[in-house]
Amino acid sequence: MSQKQTHAFQAEVKQILHLVTHSLYSNKEIFLRELVSNASDACDKLRFEALDNAALWEDQPNLEVRISFDEDAKTLTISDNGIGMSAEEAAAHLGTIAKSGTREFMAKLEGDQKKDAQLIGQFGVGFYSGFIVADRITVETRRAGLPADQGVRWSSEGTGEYDIETLSKPGRGTDVILHLREGEEEFLKTWRVKSTIAKYSDHISLPILMKKETWDAEAAKQVLTDEWEPVNKASALWSRSKSEISEEQYQEFYKQISHDSEAPLAYTHNRVEGRSEYTQLLYIPAKAPFDLWNRDKRGGVKLYVKRVFIMDDAEALMPVYLRFVKGVIDSADLPLNVSRELLQESRDVKAIREGSTKRVLGMLESLANSEEEAERAKYAAFWKDFGQVLKEGIGEDHQNQERLAKLFRFASTHADENVSLADYVSRMKEGQDVIYYITADSLAAAKHSPQLEIFRKKGIEVLLLVDRVDEWMLSHLYEFDGKPLQSVAKGAVDLGKLLDEDEKKKADETAENLKPLLDKLKDALKDRAKDVRVTTRLVDSPACIVVEEGDMSGHLARLLKQAGQ
Ligand code: ADP
Ligand code: MG
Protein backbone atom coordinates (compact mmCIF):
# COMPACT_ATOMS: atom_id res chain seq x y z
CA MET A 1 0.00 0.00 0.00
CA SER A 2 2.20 2.84 -1.18
CA GLN A 3 -0.67 4.91 -2.42
CA LYS A 4 -2.80 6.98 -0.19
CA GLN A 5 -6.04 5.27 0.75
CA THR A 6 -9.04 6.97 2.19
CA HIS A 7 -11.25 5.21 4.74
CA ALA A 8 -14.40 6.19 6.54
CA PHE A 9 -14.46 6.20 10.32
CA GLN A 10 -16.65 3.70 12.06
CA ALA A 11 -19.97 5.38 12.87
CA GLU A 12 -19.29 5.39 16.64
CA VAL A 13 -16.01 7.18 16.07
CA LYS A 14 -17.76 9.94 14.17
CA GLN A 15 -20.18 10.42 17.00
CA ILE A 16 -17.45 10.44 19.59
CA LEU A 17 -15.32 12.84 17.57
CA HIS A 18 -18.19 15.22 17.40
CA LEU A 19 -18.75 15.01 21.12
CA VAL A 20 -15.11 15.32 22.03
CA THR A 21 -14.53 18.41 20.00
CA HIS A 22 -17.75 20.04 21.09
CA SER A 23 -18.08 19.19 24.73
CA LEU A 24 -14.57 18.95 26.10
CA TYR A 25 -13.47 22.36 25.00
CA SER A 26 -13.70 23.88 28.47
CA ASN A 27 -10.94 21.55 29.58
CA LYS A 28 -9.04 21.44 26.32
CA GLU A 29 -5.54 20.95 27.69
CA ILE A 30 -6.36 17.36 28.64
CA PHE A 31 -5.46 16.36 25.09
CA LEU A 32 -1.82 16.58 26.19
CA ARG A 33 -2.42 14.27 29.11
CA GLU A 34 -4.12 11.77 26.80
CA LEU A 35 -1.45 11.82 24.12
CA VAL A 36 1.39 11.64 26.63
CA SER A 37 -0.33 8.77 28.35
CA ASN A 38 -0.66 6.94 25.01
CA ALA A 39 3.03 7.53 24.36
CA SER A 40 3.85 6.18 27.78
CA ASP A 41 1.55 3.15 27.25
CA ALA A 42 3.32 2.49 23.95
CA CYS A 43 6.69 2.48 25.73
CA ASP A 44 5.32 0.15 28.40
CA LYS A 45 4.11 -2.19 25.69
CA LEU A 46 7.48 -2.20 24.01
CA ARG A 47 9.23 -2.99 27.27
CA PHE A 48 6.83 -5.82 27.87
CA GLU A 49 7.03 -7.36 24.40
CA ALA A 50 10.79 -7.00 24.41
CA LEU A 51 11.01 -9.32 27.40
CA ASP A 52 10.41 -12.13 24.93
CA ASN A 53 11.99 -10.52 21.90
CA ALA A 54 15.01 -8.34 22.60
CA ALA A 55 15.35 -7.46 18.90
CA LEU A 56 12.48 -5.01 19.34
CA TRP A 57 14.82 -2.63 21.12
CA GLU A 58 16.57 -2.12 17.75
CA ASP A 59 19.33 0.41 18.46
CA GLN A 60 17.35 2.52 20.93
CA PRO A 61 17.47 1.20 24.47
CA ASN A 62 16.16 4.38 26.12
CA LEU A 63 12.45 4.88 26.11
CA GLU A 64 11.31 8.48 26.06
CA VAL A 65 8.69 10.97 24.94
CA ARG A 66 9.65 14.14 23.10
CA ILE A 67 7.41 17.14 22.69
CA SER A 68 8.26 19.76 20.12
CA PHE A 69 6.56 22.49 18.14
CA ASP A 70 7.00 24.40 14.94
CA GLU A 71 5.79 27.98 15.22
CA ASP A 72 5.70 28.60 11.49
CA ALA A 73 3.86 25.42 10.60
CA LYS A 74 1.71 25.79 13.76
CA THR A 75 2.22 22.17 14.72
CA LEU A 76 2.73 20.51 18.06
CA THR A 77 4.29 17.03 17.97
CA ILE A 78 4.29 14.32 20.60
CA SER A 79 6.83 11.60 19.76
CA ASP A 80 7.64 8.33 21.43
CA ASN A 81 9.95 5.46 20.66
CA GLY A 82 7.54 2.86 21.95
CA ILE A 83 5.88 -0.05 20.23
CA GLY A 84 4.46 1.91 17.24
CA MET A 85 1.68 0.66 14.97
CA SER A 86 1.51 -1.35 11.76
CA ALA A 87 -0.87 -0.16 9.02
CA GLU A 88 -3.53 -2.62 10.21
CA GLU A 89 -3.10 -1.50 13.81
CA ALA A 90 -3.33 2.18 12.89
CA ALA A 91 -6.58 1.54 11.02
CA ALA A 92 -7.95 -0.62 13.81
CA HIS A 93 -6.90 1.56 16.75
CA LEU A 94 -7.38 5.02 15.31
CA GLY A 95 -10.28 4.39 12.95
CA THR A 96 -12.57 2.20 15.01
CA ILE A 97 -13.36 1.76 18.63
CA ALA A 98 -12.84 -1.88 19.31
CA LYS A 99 -13.07 -1.73 23.04
CA SER A 100 -15.80 -3.63 24.81
CA GLY A 101 -18.32 -1.42 26.44
CA THR A 102 -18.55 0.86 23.43
CA ARG A 103 -22.12 -0.05 22.87
CA GLU A 104 -22.99 0.58 26.49
CA PHE A 105 -21.19 3.87 26.25
CA MET A 106 -23.05 4.95 23.13
CA ALA A 107 -26.33 3.88 24.68
CA LYS A 108 -25.65 6.08 27.68
CA LEU A 109 -25.16 9.26 25.71
CA GLU A 110 -28.01 11.59 26.45
CA GLY A 111 -27.24 14.60 24.36
CA ASP A 112 -26.58 16.51 27.57
CA GLN A 113 -23.14 17.91 26.85
CA LYS A 114 -21.96 18.18 30.41
CA LYS A 115 -22.93 14.65 31.34
CA ASP A 116 -21.69 13.24 28.08
CA ALA A 117 -18.34 14.92 28.54
CA GLN A 118 -18.01 13.28 31.91
CA LEU A 119 -18.80 9.92 30.38
CA ILE A 120 -16.18 10.45 27.73
CA GLY A 121 -13.68 11.05 30.46
CA GLN A 122 -14.56 7.74 32.08
CA PHE A 123 -14.48 5.95 28.82
CA GLY A 124 -11.12 7.41 27.91
CA VAL A 125 -11.43 8.20 24.22
CA GLY A 126 -7.95 9.55 24.58
CA PHE A 127 -6.55 9.87 21.09
CA TYR A 128 -9.49 11.75 19.63
CA SER A 129 -9.13 14.50 22.20
CA GLY A 130 -6.35 15.86 19.96
CA PHE A 131 -9.09 17.20 17.72
CA ILE A 132 -10.17 19.63 20.42
CA VAL A 133 -7.22 21.84 19.47
CA ALA A 134 -6.22 20.47 16.04
CA ASP A 135 -8.06 20.64 12.73
CA ARG A 136 -5.80 17.93 11.34
CA ILE A 137 -3.82 15.21 13.05
CA THR A 138 -1.05 13.33 11.29
CA VAL A 139 0.30 10.20 12.90
CA GLU A 140 3.60 8.85 11.61
CA THR A 141 4.40 5.51 13.09
CA ARG A 142 6.38 2.33 12.65
CA ARG A 143 5.92 -0.80 14.64
CA ALA A 144 9.02 -2.02 16.48
CA GLY A 145 10.58 -4.92 14.60
CA LEU A 146 9.20 -3.99 11.15
CA PRO A 147 11.62 -2.66 8.50
CA ALA A 148 11.98 1.12 8.09
CA ASP A 149 10.02 1.19 4.85
CA GLN A 150 6.93 -0.23 6.53
CA GLY A 151 6.11 2.93 8.36
CA VAL A 152 2.62 4.41 8.13
CA ARG A 153 1.23 7.90 7.82
CA TRP A 154 -2.33 8.22 9.15
CA SER A 155 -3.99 11.55 8.70
CA SER A 156 -7.41 13.00 9.36
CA GLU A 157 -9.35 16.19 9.85
CA GLY A 158 -11.44 14.48 12.44
CA THR A 159 -14.65 14.56 10.47
CA GLY A 160 -15.72 11.59 8.41
CA GLU A 161 -12.56 10.07 7.04
CA TYR A 162 -8.91 9.33 7.45
CA ASP A 163 -6.09 8.60 4.98
CA ILE A 164 -3.42 5.98 5.32
CA GLU A 165 -0.23 5.76 3.27
CA THR A 166 3.13 4.05 3.50
CA LEU A 167 6.08 5.95 4.82
CA SER A 168 9.73 5.33 5.45
CA LYS A 169 10.45 5.84 9.13
CA PRO A 170 13.87 4.83 10.45
CA GLY A 171 13.12 5.27 14.15
CA ARG A 172 10.51 2.96 15.71
CA GLY A 173 7.53 4.43 17.51
CA THR A 174 5.01 7.15 16.88
CA ASP A 175 4.89 10.89 16.15
CA VAL A 176 1.51 12.49 16.67
CA ILE A 177 1.51 15.82 14.82
CA LEU A 178 -1.26 18.24 15.73
CA HIS A 179 -2.02 20.98 13.21
CA LEU A 180 -3.37 23.51 15.65
CA ARG A 181 -6.63 25.28 14.99
CA GLU A 182 -6.75 29.03 14.61
CA GLY A 183 -6.64 30.48 18.12
CA GLU A 184 -4.80 27.58 19.77
CA GLU A 185 -1.33 29.12 19.40
CA GLU A 186 -0.86 29.00 23.16
CA PHE A 187 0.27 25.40 22.72
CA LEU A 188 3.26 26.67 20.76
CA LYS A 189 4.69 28.10 23.99
CA THR A 190 7.12 26.10 26.07
CA TRP A 191 5.73 27.34 29.39
CA ARG A 192 2.19 26.42 28.47
CA VAL A 193 3.10 22.89 27.48
CA LYS A 194 5.48 22.46 30.41
CA SER A 195 2.97 23.55 33.00
CA THR A 196 0.36 21.22 31.57
CA ILE A 197 2.81 18.32 31.74
CA ALA A 198 3.62 19.21 35.32
CA LYS A 199 -0.04 19.20 36.16
CA TYR A 200 -1.04 15.95 34.55
CA SER A 201 1.94 13.86 33.66
CA ASP A 202 4.58 14.45 36.26
CA HIS A 203 4.46 10.88 37.51
CA ILE A 204 4.90 9.29 34.08
CA SER A 205 7.85 7.07 34.76
CA LEU A 206 9.81 7.81 31.62
CA PRO A 207 11.43 11.09 30.66
CA ILE A 208 9.32 13.61 28.78
CA LEU A 209 11.76 15.86 26.93
CA MET A 210 11.41 19.33 25.44
CA LYS A 211 13.94 21.57 23.80
CA LYS A 212 15.63 23.96 26.16
CA GLU A 213 14.94 27.65 25.70
CA THR A 214 17.39 30.47 26.00
CA TRP A 215 17.05 34.24 25.98
CA ASP A 216 18.05 35.81 22.69
CA ALA A 217 18.94 39.43 23.45
CA GLU A 218 18.94 40.51 19.85
CA ALA A 219 15.50 39.19 19.10
CA ALA A 220 14.47 40.10 22.64
CA LYS A 221 12.65 36.81 23.19
CA GLN A 222 13.09 33.21 24.27
CA VAL A 223 14.39 30.97 21.48
CA LEU A 224 14.77 27.23 21.33
CA THR A 225 18.19 25.59 21.51
CA ASP A 226 18.96 22.10 20.16
CA GLU A 227 19.36 20.67 23.61
CA TRP A 228 16.63 18.42 25.05
CA GLU A 229 15.81 18.50 28.73
CA PRO A 230 13.35 16.52 30.86
CA VAL A 231 10.25 18.44 31.94
CA ASN A 232 8.72 15.86 34.29
CA LYS A 233 10.00 14.42 37.53
CA ALA A 234 9.64 10.92 36.07
CA SER A 235 9.22 9.35 39.43
CA ALA A 236 6.37 6.93 39.80
CA LEU A 237 4.16 8.71 42.31
CA TRP A 238 3.47 5.61 44.39
CA SER A 239 7.17 4.97 44.90
CA ARG A 240 7.68 8.29 46.65
CA SER A 241 7.04 8.56 50.33
CA LYS A 242 3.67 9.86 51.49
CA SER A 243 5.12 12.99 53.03
CA GLU A 244 6.46 14.09 49.64
CA ILE A 245 3.13 13.84 47.90
CA SER A 246 0.54 16.57 48.04
CA GLU A 247 -3.19 15.97 48.15
CA GLU A 248 -3.42 17.55 44.71
CA GLN A 249 -0.85 15.13 43.28
CA TYR A 250 -2.75 12.18 44.67
CA GLN A 251 -5.92 13.47 43.05
CA GLU A 252 -4.28 14.23 39.72
CA PHE A 253 -2.80 10.77 39.61
CA TYR A 254 -6.22 9.29 40.25
CA LYS A 255 -7.77 11.29 37.41
CA GLN A 256 -5.00 10.18 35.14
CA ILE A 257 -5.40 6.46 35.76
CA SER A 258 -9.16 6.40 36.10
CA HIS A 259 -10.24 8.90 33.42
CA ASP A 260 -12.60 10.17 36.08
CA SER A 261 -13.14 13.91 36.12
CA GLU A 262 -14.13 13.92 39.77
CA ALA A 263 -11.89 13.59 42.79
CA PRO A 264 -11.83 10.16 44.43
CA LEU A 265 -13.83 9.43 47.56
CA ALA A 266 -10.86 8.02 49.44
CA TYR A 267 -7.45 6.52 48.87
CA THR A 268 -4.86 4.47 50.67
CA HIS A 269 -1.13 4.39 50.04
CA ASN A 270 1.10 1.87 51.79
CA ARG A 271 4.33 0.07 51.51
CA VAL A 272 3.78 -3.46 52.73
CA GLU A 273 6.73 -5.42 53.98
CA GLY A 274 6.98 -8.97 55.19
CA ARG A 275 6.57 -12.23 53.36
CA SER A 276 5.38 -10.43 50.28
CA GLU A 277 6.71 -6.97 49.54
CA TYR A 278 4.67 -4.49 47.60
CA THR A 279 3.38 -0.94 47.40
CA GLN A 280 -0.28 -0.21 46.97
CA LEU A 281 -1.98 3.01 46.02
CA LEU A 282 -5.69 2.34 45.82
CA TYR A 283 -8.59 4.69 45.21
CA ILE A 284 -12.33 4.47 45.67
CA PRO A 285 -14.18 6.53 43.05
CA ALA A 286 -16.88 8.94 44.11
CA LYS A 287 -19.29 7.85 41.37
CA ALA A 288 -20.04 4.53 39.74
CA PRO A 289 -18.76 4.14 36.18
CA PHE A 290 -21.33 3.37 33.51
CA ASP A 291 -20.16 -0.21 33.13
CA LEU A 292 -20.09 -1.13 36.80
CA TRP A 293 -22.63 -3.87 36.19
CA ASN A 294 -20.48 -5.68 33.72
CA ARG A 295 -18.92 -8.42 35.86
CA ASP A 296 -16.62 -9.34 32.98
CA LYS A 297 -15.14 -5.92 33.01
CA ARG A 298 -11.60 -6.17 34.22
CA GLY A 299 -10.50 -4.44 37.35
CA GLY A 300 -8.98 -1.02 37.53
CA VAL A 301 -5.73 -1.97 39.20
CA LYS A 302 -2.48 -1.76 37.29
CA LEU A 303 0.33 -4.12 38.12
CA TYR A 304 3.93 -2.96 38.18
CA VAL A 305 6.98 -4.92 39.17
CA LYS A 306 9.70 -2.68 40.58
CA ARG A 307 8.24 0.31 38.74
CA VAL A 308 8.09 -1.48 35.41
CA PHE A 309 4.59 -1.60 34.06
CA ILE A 310 3.41 -5.18 33.62
CA MET A 311 -0.30 -5.07 32.88
CA ASP A 312 -3.53 -3.20 33.16
CA ASP A 313 -6.66 -4.71 34.62
CA ALA A 314 -4.84 -7.38 36.56
CA GLU A 315 -8.03 -8.99 37.83
CA ALA A 316 -6.17 -11.45 40.03
CA LEU A 317 -5.22 -8.54 42.27
CA MET A 318 -8.71 -7.67 43.43
CA PRO A 319 -11.85 -9.71 44.03
CA VAL A 320 -14.58 -9.13 41.43
CA TYR A 321 -16.86 -7.37 43.90
CA LEU A 322 -14.21 -4.66 44.35
CA ARG A 323 -13.89 -4.09 40.61
CA PHE A 324 -14.56 -0.38 41.05
CA VAL A 325 -11.27 0.16 42.90
CA LYS A 326 -8.62 1.97 40.85
CA GLY A 327 -4.94 2.17 41.48
CA VAL A 328 -1.51 0.69 41.29
CA ILE A 329 0.16 -2.26 42.91
CA ASP A 330 3.89 -2.48 42.55
CA SER A 331 5.40 -5.78 43.61
CA ALA A 332 9.00 -6.34 44.56
CA ASP A 333 8.75 -10.15 44.32
CA LEU A 334 7.03 -11.09 41.08
CA PRO A 335 9.04 -11.87 37.95
CA LEU A 336 8.84 -9.29 35.16
CA ASN A 337 7.55 -11.79 32.65
CA VAL A 338 4.61 -12.84 34.81
CA SER A 339 1.55 -13.81 32.76
CA ARG A 340 -2.13 -13.59 33.61
CA GLU A 341 -2.19 -17.36 34.13
CA LEU A 342 0.76 -17.25 36.48
CA LEU A 343 -0.85 -14.44 38.42
CA GLN A 344 -3.87 -16.59 39.15
CA GLU A 345 -1.70 -19.19 40.81
CA SER A 346 0.94 -17.12 42.53
CA ARG A 347 1.01 -17.20 46.32
CA ASP A 348 2.47 -13.71 46.34
CA VAL A 349 -0.49 -12.47 44.34
CA LYS A 350 -2.86 -14.16 46.75
CA ALA A 351 -1.19 -12.35 49.63
CA ILE A 352 -1.41 -9.08 47.72
CA ARG A 353 -5.07 -9.61 46.97
CA GLU A 354 -5.90 -10.38 50.56
CA GLY A 355 -3.90 -7.43 51.82
CA SER A 356 -5.44 -5.05 49.32
CA THR A 357 -8.96 -6.27 50.03
CA LYS A 358 -8.43 -5.59 53.73
CA ARG A 359 -7.17 -2.10 52.95
CA VAL A 360 -10.18 -1.28 50.82
CA LEU A 361 -12.59 -2.58 53.44
CA GLY A 362 -10.65 -0.59 56.02
CA MET A 363 -11.09 2.60 53.98
CA LEU A 364 -14.81 1.99 53.76
CA GLU A 365 -15.08 1.21 57.47
CA SER A 366 -13.33 4.38 58.48
CA LEU A 367 -15.76 6.40 56.37
CA ALA A 368 -18.78 4.48 57.62
CA ASN A 369 -17.80 4.67 61.29
CA SER A 370 -16.30 8.13 61.29
CA GLU A 371 -17.04 10.56 64.08
CA GLU A 372 -17.53 13.18 61.41
CA GLU A 373 -20.93 13.59 59.86
CA ALA A 374 -19.38 14.59 56.49
CA GLU A 375 -17.39 11.37 56.28
CA ARG A 376 -20.44 9.26 57.08
CA ALA A 377 -22.35 11.16 54.41
CA LYS A 378 -19.59 10.18 51.99
CA TYR A 379 -20.14 6.57 52.93
CA ALA A 380 -23.89 6.90 52.39
CA ALA A 381 -23.19 8.30 48.92
CA PHE A 382 -20.77 5.49 48.23
CA TRP A 383 -23.36 2.97 49.32
CA LYS A 384 -25.97 4.42 46.96
CA ASP A 385 -23.69 3.91 43.98
CA PHE A 386 -21.73 0.82 44.90
CA GLY A 387 -23.74 -0.95 47.59
CA GLN A 388 -25.22 -3.52 45.27
CA VAL A 389 -21.78 -4.49 44.02
CA LEU A 390 -20.42 -4.73 47.54
CA LYS A 391 -23.25 -7.12 48.38
CA GLU A 392 -21.83 -9.54 45.82
CA GLY A 393 -18.90 -9.91 48.19
CA ILE A 394 -20.93 -11.77 50.76
CA GLY A 395 -20.91 -14.86 48.57
CA GLU A 396 -17.56 -14.27 47.00
CA ASP A 397 -15.37 -13.48 49.96
CA HIS A 398 -16.16 -15.75 52.91
CA GLN A 399 -13.14 -14.57 54.80
CA ASN A 400 -14.53 -11.05 55.05
CA GLN A 401 -18.23 -11.86 55.38
CA GLU A 402 -18.57 -10.31 58.77
CA ARG A 403 -16.79 -7.10 57.87
CA LEU A 404 -18.88 -6.82 54.74
CA ALA A 405 -22.16 -7.41 56.56
CA LYS A 406 -21.28 -4.55 58.91
CA LEU A 407 -20.83 -2.27 55.91
CA PHE A 408 -24.22 -3.07 54.41
CA ARG A 409 -27.02 -0.56 54.59
CA PHE A 410 -30.72 -1.15 54.06
CA ALA A 411 -34.13 0.41 54.18
CA SER A 412 -36.37 -0.68 56.99
CA THR A 413 -39.73 0.11 58.52
CA HIS A 414 -37.76 2.46 60.75
CA ALA A 415 -35.93 4.52 58.09
CA ASP A 416 -35.95 4.62 54.29
CA GLU A 417 -32.20 4.21 53.98
CA ASN A 418 -28.91 3.80 55.73
CA VAL A 419 -29.96 1.21 58.30
CA SER A 420 -27.02 -0.99 59.26
CA LEU A 421 -27.50 -4.44 60.73
CA ALA A 422 -25.87 -3.16 63.91
CA ASP A 423 -28.45 -0.33 64.09
CA TYR A 424 -31.16 -2.90 63.65
CA VAL A 425 -29.82 -5.16 66.38
CA SER A 426 -29.53 -2.23 68.77
CA ARG A 427 -33.23 -1.50 68.27
CA MET A 428 -34.43 -5.08 68.70
CA LYS A 429 -37.29 -5.55 71.12
CA GLU A 430 -37.02 -7.35 74.40
CA GLY A 431 -37.46 -11.03 73.60
CA GLN A 432 -36.79 -10.63 69.88
CA ASP A 433 -34.03 -12.96 68.79
CA VAL A 434 -34.15 -12.82 65.01
CA ILE A 435 -33.70 -10.12 62.38
CA TYR A 436 -36.87 -9.77 60.33
CA TYR A 437 -36.85 -8.83 56.68
CA ILE A 438 -39.11 -8.76 53.66
CA THR A 439 -38.03 -8.79 50.01
CA ALA A 440 -39.92 -6.99 47.26
CA ASP A 441 -39.48 -5.30 43.90
CA SER A 442 -39.71 -1.81 45.27
CA LEU A 443 -39.73 0.09 48.51
CA ALA A 444 -43.38 0.97 48.03
CA ALA A 445 -44.34 -2.65 47.48
CA ALA A 446 -42.39 -3.71 50.53
CA LYS A 447 -43.94 -1.04 52.71
CA HIS A 448 -47.47 -1.95 51.72
CA SER A 449 -47.08 -5.62 52.26
CA PRO A 450 -49.82 -6.99 54.53
CA GLN A 451 -47.22 -9.28 56.03
CA LEU A 452 -45.86 -6.33 57.95
CA GLU A 453 -49.06 -5.58 59.82
CA ILE A 454 -48.37 -7.35 63.07
CA PHE A 455 -44.79 -6.04 63.09
CA ARG A 456 -46.02 -2.49 62.69
CA LYS A 457 -48.52 -2.95 65.44
CA LYS A 458 -45.89 -4.31 67.79
CA GLY A 459 -43.33 -1.73 66.74
CA ILE A 460 -40.89 -4.38 65.55
CA GLU A 461 -38.51 -3.20 62.86
CA VAL A 462 -38.39 -5.11 59.58
CA LEU A 463 -35.69 -4.68 56.93
CA LEU A 464 -37.08 -3.87 53.50
CA LEU A 465 -34.83 -5.57 50.95
CA VAL A 466 -35.58 -4.27 47.47
CA ASP A 467 -32.34 -4.63 45.50
CA ARG A 468 -32.08 -7.27 42.84
CA VAL A 469 -29.06 -8.83 44.51
CA ASP A 470 -30.74 -9.11 47.89
CA GLU A 471 -32.24 -12.54 47.32
CA TRP A 472 -28.86 -13.78 46.26
CA MET A 473 -27.21 -12.07 49.20
CA LEU A 474 -29.66 -13.79 51.56
CA SER A 475 -28.61 -17.16 50.25
CA HIS A 476 -25.19 -16.44 51.74
CA LEU A 477 -25.98 -14.27 54.73
CA TYR A 478 -27.88 -16.25 57.34
CA GLU A 479 -27.17 -14.35 60.47
CA PHE A 480 -25.62 -11.27 61.93
CA ASP A 481 -24.19 -10.95 65.41
CA GLY A 482 -25.54 -14.39 66.25
CA LYS A 483 -29.08 -13.43 65.20
CA PRO A 484 -30.59 -15.36 62.32
CA LEU A 485 -32.20 -13.47 59.45
CA GLN A 486 -35.83 -14.44 59.09
CA SER A 487 -38.26 -13.60 56.32
CA VAL A 488 -41.64 -12.32 57.44
CA ALA A 489 -43.09 -13.83 54.28
CA LYS A 490 -41.96 -17.39 54.81
CA GLY A 491 -43.60 -20.17 56.78
CA ALA A 492 -45.38 -19.56 60.03
CA VAL A 493 -43.87 -16.50 61.56
CA ASP A 494 -43.38 -17.39 65.17
CA LEU A 495 -43.54 -14.20 67.11
CA GLY A 496 -42.98 -16.40 70.15
CA LYS A 497 -41.96 -14.36 73.12
CA LEU A 498 -43.04 -11.17 71.39
CA LEU A 499 -46.72 -11.93 71.87
CA ASP A 500 -48.14 -11.38 75.31
CA GLU A 501 -50.17 -14.03 77.15
CA ASP A 502 -53.52 -12.63 76.08
CA GLU A 503 -52.55 -12.47 72.46
CA LYS A 504 -51.28 -16.04 72.54
CA LYS A 505 -54.45 -17.32 74.10
CA LYS A 506 -56.56 -15.45 71.59
CA ALA A 507 -54.51 -16.81 68.71
CA ASP A 508 -54.94 -20.38 69.95
CA GLU A 509 -58.69 -19.91 70.38
CA THR A 510 -59.05 -18.43 66.92
CA ALA A 511 -57.15 -21.31 65.41
CA GLU A 512 -59.44 -23.76 67.14
CA ASN A 513 -62.60 -21.92 66.03
CA LEU A 514 -61.45 -21.58 62.47
CA LYS A 515 -60.45 -25.20 62.04
CA PRO A 516 -63.57 -26.22 60.05
CA LEU A 517 -63.14 -23.23 57.76
CA LEU A 518 -59.48 -24.05 57.26
CA ASP A 519 -60.29 -27.61 56.30
CA LYS A 520 -62.77 -26.37 53.72
CA LEU A 521 -60.29 -23.89 52.29
CA LYS A 522 -57.56 -26.51 52.15
CA ASP A 523 -59.82 -28.78 50.25
CA ALA A 524 -60.90 -26.06 47.81
CA LEU A 525 -57.32 -24.93 47.19
CA LYS A 526 -55.66 -28.30 47.34
CA ASP A 527 -54.08 -28.06 43.89
CA ARG A 528 -52.94 -24.50 44.37
CA ALA A 529 -51.86 -24.11 47.96
CA LYS A 530 -49.75 -26.40 50.10
CA ASP A 531 -51.41 -25.38 53.33
CA VAL A 532 -53.86 -22.91 54.80
CA ARG A 533 -53.11 -21.61 58.28
CA VAL A 534 -54.32 -19.17 60.84
CA THR A 535 -51.77 -16.47 61.31
CA THR A 536 -50.89 -13.83 63.84
CA ARG A 537 -49.06 -11.77 61.27
CA LEU A 538 -52.13 -9.93 59.90
CA VAL A 539 -53.94 -7.12 61.64
CA ASP A 540 -56.17 -5.50 59.02
CA SER A 541 -55.94 -7.72 55.95
CA PRO A 542 -58.02 -10.90 55.89
CA ALA A 543 -55.43 -13.15 54.20
CA CYS A 544 -52.00 -13.26 52.58
CA ILE A 545 -49.88 -15.71 50.64
CA VAL A 546 -46.64 -16.98 52.09
CA VAL A 547 -44.10 -19.53 50.94
CA GLU A 548 -42.85 -22.52 52.83
CA GLU A 549 -39.80 -22.07 55.00
CA GLY A 550 -36.82 -23.05 52.86
CA ASP A 551 -38.67 -22.51 49.57
CA MET A 552 -37.82 -19.87 47.06
CA SER A 553 -39.44 -16.60 48.02
CA GLY A 554 -42.19 -15.22 45.85
CA HIS A 555 -39.93 -12.34 44.95
CA LEU A 556 -37.08 -14.59 43.84
CA ALA A 557 -39.48 -16.75 41.85
CA ARG A 558 -40.64 -13.62 40.02
CA LEU A 559 -37.06 -12.50 39.35
CA LEU A 560 -36.15 -15.88 37.91
CA LYS A 561 -39.25 -15.89 35.78
CA GLN A 562 -38.35 -12.46 34.42
CA ALA A 563 -34.90 -13.76 33.60
CA GLY A 564 -36.53 -16.56 31.61
CA GLN A 565 -35.60 -19.40 33.97
P1 ADP B 1 -6.70 3.98 25.03
O2 ADP B 1 -5.37 4.61 25.29
O3 ADP B 1 -7.63 4.07 26.19
O4 ADP B 1 -6.59 2.58 24.48
P5 ADP B 1 -6.81 5.92 22.95
O6 ADP B 1 -7.91 6.54 22.16
O7 ADP B 1 -5.99 6.87 23.75
O8 ADP B 1 -7.44 4.82 23.88
O9 ADP B 1 -5.87 5.15 21.98
C10 ADP B 1 -6.41 4.17 21.12
C11 ADP B 1 -5.39 3.16 20.72
O12 ADP B 1 -4.51 3.69 19.74
C13 ADP B 1 -4.46 2.70 21.82
O14 ADP B 1 -5.05 1.66 22.58
C15 ADP B 1 -3.26 2.22 21.04
O16 ADP B 1 -3.46 0.90 20.56
C17 ADP B 1 -3.23 3.14 19.86
N18 ADP B 1 -2.28 4.23 20.09
C19 ADP B 1 -2.57 5.51 20.40
N20 ADP B 1 -1.44 6.25 20.54
C21 ADP B 1 -0.41 5.41 20.34
C22 ADP B 1 1.03 5.54 20.34
N23 ADP B 1 1.62 6.71 20.63
N24 ADP B 1 1.76 4.44 20.04
C25 ADP B 1 1.18 3.26 19.77
N26 ADP B 1 -0.16 3.06 19.74
C27 ADP B 1 -0.95 4.11 20.03
MG1 MG C 1 -5.12 6.55 25.78
Q: Choose one of 100, 127, 297 to mutate for the ligand 1 pocket test, by most ligand atoms within 8 angstroms of C-beta.
A: 127
pLDDT in tens, 171-227: 999 999 999 999 999 999 999 999 988 877 776 778 999 999 999 999 898 899 999
Residue 93 alpha carbon to ligand 1 centre in Å: 6
pLDDT in tens, 28-68: 888 998 899 889 989 989 988 998 899 999 999 999 999 99
pLDDT at res. 371: 96
Which residue lies with its CA nearest to atom 19 of ligand 1?
38
Which residue lies with its CA nearest to atom 8 of ligand 1?
126
Taking the CA of 127 as reference, the closest ligand is 1
**Measured between alpha carbons, how far is 492 from 184 in angstroms, rounded to an integer?**
74
Which residue lies with its CA nearest to atom 10 of ligand 1?
93
- Chain-centre distance of CA 487, in angstroms? 33
**What confidence tier does 19 reach under pLDDT thresholds 50, 70, 90?**
confident
Residue 203 alpha carbon to ligand 1 centre in Å: 19
Pocket of ligand 1 (CB under 6 A): 34, 38-39, 41-42, 80, 82-85, 93-94, 124-127, 174
pLDDT in tens, 228-260: 999 987 778 898 899 999 999 999 889 888 878
Which residue lies with its CA nearest to atom 15 of ligand 1?
93
Which residue lies with its CA nearest to atom 3 of ligand 1?
124
Residue 38 alpha carbon to ligand 1 centre in Å: 5
**What confidence tier does 314 reach under pLDDT thresholds 50, 70, 90?**
confident
Which residue lies with its CA nearest to atom 18 of ligand 1?
38
**What confidence tier does 107 reach under pLDDT thresholds 50, 70, 90?**
low
CA torsion 249-254-256-257 (nearest 10°) is 140
Residue 35 alpha carbon to ligand 2 centre in Å: 7
Residue 230 alpha carbon to ligand 1 centre in Å: 23
ipTM over 0.90 threshold? yes
Residue 126 alpha carbon to ligand 1 centre in Å: 7
pLDDT at res. 42: 94
pLDDT in tens, 333-343: 887 667 778 88
Residue 78 CA, closest ligand 1 atom number: 23
Taking the CA of 65 as reference, the closest ligand is 1
Which residue lies with its CA nearest to atom 16 of ligand 1?
93
pLDDT at res. 323: 92
pTM: predicted TM-score of the whole model, two decimal places: 0.66
Cβ atoms of 71 and 189 within 8 Å: the answer is no
Q: Is the dihedral of CA 72, 75, 80, 81 positive or negative?
A: negative
pLDDT at res. 128: 86
Cβ atoms of 470 and 439 within 8 Å: the answer is yes
Taking the CA of 44 as reference, the closest ligand is 1
Residue 325: pLDDT above 70?
yes
User: Listing from the earlier edge strand, what are the strands of the sheet with 278-284?
Assistant: 266-272, 278-284, 326-331, 300-305, 308-311
pLDDT in tens, 113-142: 666 655 655 555 578 889 999 999 999 999
Give the 3-state DSSP-derived string for 28-60, with helices as H, strands as E and coil as C: CCHHHHHHHHHHHHHHHHHHHHHCCCHHHHCCC
